[in-house]
Structure 1
Amino acid sequence: MTEAENRKAVRRAFLKFYRQWPTFGDDSDERAFAEWQALQPEERQAADAMLPGFLAFEAMNGRTVKFAASTYLREKRWTAVPEGMEGAGGSVIAATFGKAWMAERFARLGEPCARLPALTRFQELEIAEGRADRKALWRERMAKMGWTSVNAMNDQAVRFPGKGMRVSGEIALLGADFEAVRVGGDQWAAWEAEHAARGWPFLPEMGRVEWVYFPPLGAGTPGEALETFFGKLDRAKQLEAAQ
């Protein structure tokens, strides 16, 4: 390939990338192309391949991309997208108890509780005679029957811990900022209590697993962290519906 042909190829690759940029048409083509040329070939490829994932990640976090394409290229902002994510529409294999696996788990827990059968006559008698608490019985029933797909994830995690599961790229992005929580520690206990309060099934016996990923608490509570997570999940669904 001659030098002239190489320049044309670089320009064509740039235009393919640039036409996907949200502010295309209002942006500076010259500045963006200058930054594109300053990148190594593999960086240009990554900048283009990761752009859909980057835009989805920004949208999930409630951020509108208004800055120039040159900024994205100069600051190499595609590196904020989790490794291995080539666009938001693909799928990935999520390691058991890893970030993406836990994001999928919480996404499923965010669905409405399944319709539950009525309490048994024996349970009603126990309640009437003061030997059982109605709310506690319902929470127990919810944990066992309300989110069967989550219980299935727990079962697979115990029986086939190395198998993992396939999740969408959007879910993987949602779990990108999850933080590691030590099994049996204070934060672990706080998350277990949050699950119990909501009637959710908690994680199974962890065996030798020492760390599991949860939405970041910051200085807040598990409930506040979940509110943030479900807000991002809703925005991701809206983004998908708009495409």
Structure 2
Amino acid sequence: MSQLFKAHLGSTGRKMLAVRLADFADDDGKGIWPTVGRLAQETELSERTVQRFLGEFVDEGLLIVVKKGGGKPGEATRYDFNMAAIARLPSSKSVADGCHGVTHDTVSPVTPTTATGDTDDADGCHGVTQTVIEPPIEPLEREGAREADLKDGDDPSKFVQRVKALEMGRANNPWPGAIASSTAWALQQFEKLTPEERRLAEERRDAYLAECKAQKVKNVALGVYLRDKKFLDVVPSAVRAQAASAKIAVAPFGPVWAGMRALALIDGPEHVEVPLDVRDRIGQTFEALRRGSETRALAYLHGKGIELGPDGELIFPYDFDQAEYRRRTIESGYPRANELHLQAKGRERGIAEARFEALADLCEPVPVGSELFERWRAHHEAAGWPFVPDPGSMPVVYFPKGGPEALNDFETAARAALRQERSDDHAA
């Protein structure tokens, strides 16, 4: 807990309380449960001030509430220090900025005029002559290791976010029982792991849960999974199998959605048939609509480019057969794209194999109504593709990077990425 002696905490009172709390903690910063009254007495702060500082420490993440007190008379709240948060505290000013100048004396000098102490010091620098015991200096190796962690992406400031991700999962698969477990305690166990162990814990999460389900045994709590390093017990082949079958959520109008949709369109339409008696069927539909509403029946014909002759006969355009085939192709010739469109209309998240996540980096957001958005619309119309559903109030919709002109580059990169992902799974 020597970090607290060197940390800048904002005020003398906060520093005094933090150091006193450290006296109650064990070497790992845990097991703090003195009463507010005792802390107030020993720090000479008011109880209200102690309560305020404790609340600030909790809000700032320096203290973790393990168990709330007050259930029984005299029962105190139990706290643990968040060691990762304490390690990130800024250092207080060096002694050189104080009254000793640059001499770095740690014992107040005694002169003939101050033989009974420094109470007569004109500058009021020393209240009493006191030997200050400096806390042990932390090894440079620890600081170097922490810098290395940051370079490798193992940033302690992201630990809370990573533990929450372990709780919630990547594809609507939360850790069973996490809602009733302590996130703070799981965070403490996560912090104790090495960077490599943290990576393995995240990588093997789904495989561990799948293995428990396969063996019909109950999984342990997330904190226990981290504390006991259960991820090391997962057979590597199970990890690879789980990775191969892993699923991801696909957000409507998002980058993965856009990549999957573009490939479905590029693959071309499935075969559709136009019935030989399609003109007779249209005539029958027109007559049925006409019996209910003349206006509605005429609108039906207008939508198909058909005119009503003076004698009541239907006049079909010269290219009716080609236009009808094109219409049916757009409506039903791209089932995979239309399935994505249906999900987007309902603002529903889809599910896809994890390998499709590689498409996200190949797509870009396009502002709705922009010049590029309209170029995409024109390209879809020229290609006979169904365009994206109405995005409503969404400001952007994702499309392949580079606009319609770069679709060939997108296809090449996308198929290469998916082949690589699949070959990695098979090699595993």
Give the TM-score taking structure 2 as reference length: 0.34
Distance across 2 between alignment mates of 1:104 and 1:129: 37
Deviation at 1:151, TM superposition (A): 1.4
Distance across 2 between alignment mates of 1:130 and 1:108: 31
1:101-112 matches, cutoff 5 A: 101-112=257-268
Distance across 2 between alignment mates of 1:182 and 1:88: 35
Alpha-carbon displacement from aligned partner over 1:145-181 (angstroms, at most 9, x marks no partner): 11122212212221x30x2111233322212242111
> Is residue 2:347 matched to residue 1:183?
no
Deviation at 1:110, TM superposition (A): 3.0
> Is residue 2:148 matched to residue 1:38?
yes
The equivalent position to 1:115 in structure 2, one of 271, 283, 301, is 271
Alpha-carbon displacement from aligned partner over 1:37-74 (angstroms, at most 9, x marks no partner): 93358634487878xxxxxxxxxxxxxxxxxxxxxxxx
Match of 2:417 in 1: 236
Match of 1:211 in 2: 396
Alpha-carbon displacement from aligned partner over 1:205-237 (angstroms, at most 9, x marks no partner): 2221221011111xxx4042x211211232134
From the superposition, tell whether residues 130 and 186 of structure 1 become closer, same or farther in structure 2 (CA, over 3 Å).
same
Counterpart amino acid of residue 99 in structure 1: P
Distance across 2 between alignment mates of 1:195 and 1:201: 7
Deviation at 1:186, TM superposition (A): 1.1
**Structure 1 stretches lacking a partner, 5+ long:** 1-34, 51-86
Number of equivalences: 168
1:128-147 matches, cutoff 5 A: 130-132=317-319, 135-147=322-334
* Structure possessing the higher radius of gyration over alpha carbons: 2
**Structure 2 stretches lacking a partner, 5+ long:** 1-144, 155-194, 204-242, 281-304, 307-314
Which structure has more RCO (C-alpha within 8 Å, separation ≥ 6)? Answer: 1
Contact 1:95 1:165 in 2 (8 A): yes
Distance across 2 between alignment mates of 1:90 and 1:137: 41
Distance across 2 between alignment mates of 1:206 and 1:120: 37
Counterpart amino acid of residue 147 in structure 1: Y
Please state whether the residue corresponding to 2:361 is helix, strand or coil.
coil
Match of 2:178 in 1: none
1:31-180 matches, cutoff 5 A: 38-39=148-149, 43=154, 44-45=195-196, 90-118=246-274, 120-121=276-277, 130-132=317-319, 135-158=322-345, 160-161=346-347, 163-180=348-365
Percent identity of equivalent pairs: 24
Deviation at 1:123, TM superposition (A): 5.8
Deviation at 1:96, TM superposition (A): 1.0
Counterpart amino acid of residue 144 in structure 1: E
Counterpart amino acid of residue 38 in structure 1: A
Give the TM-score taking structure 1 as reference length: 0.56
Deviation at 1:88, TM superposition (A): 8.2
Contact 1:194 1:223 in 2 (8 A): no
Match of 1:11 in 2: none
Match of 2:163 in 1: none
Deviation at 1:130, TM superposition (A): 4.4
Please state whether the residue corresponding to 1:39 is helix, strand or coil.
helix
Contact 1:104 1:167 in 2 (8 A): no
Counterpart amino acid of residue 367 in structure 2: R
From the superposition, tell whether residues 187 and 100 of structure 1 become closer, same or farther in structure 2 (CA, over 3 Å).
same
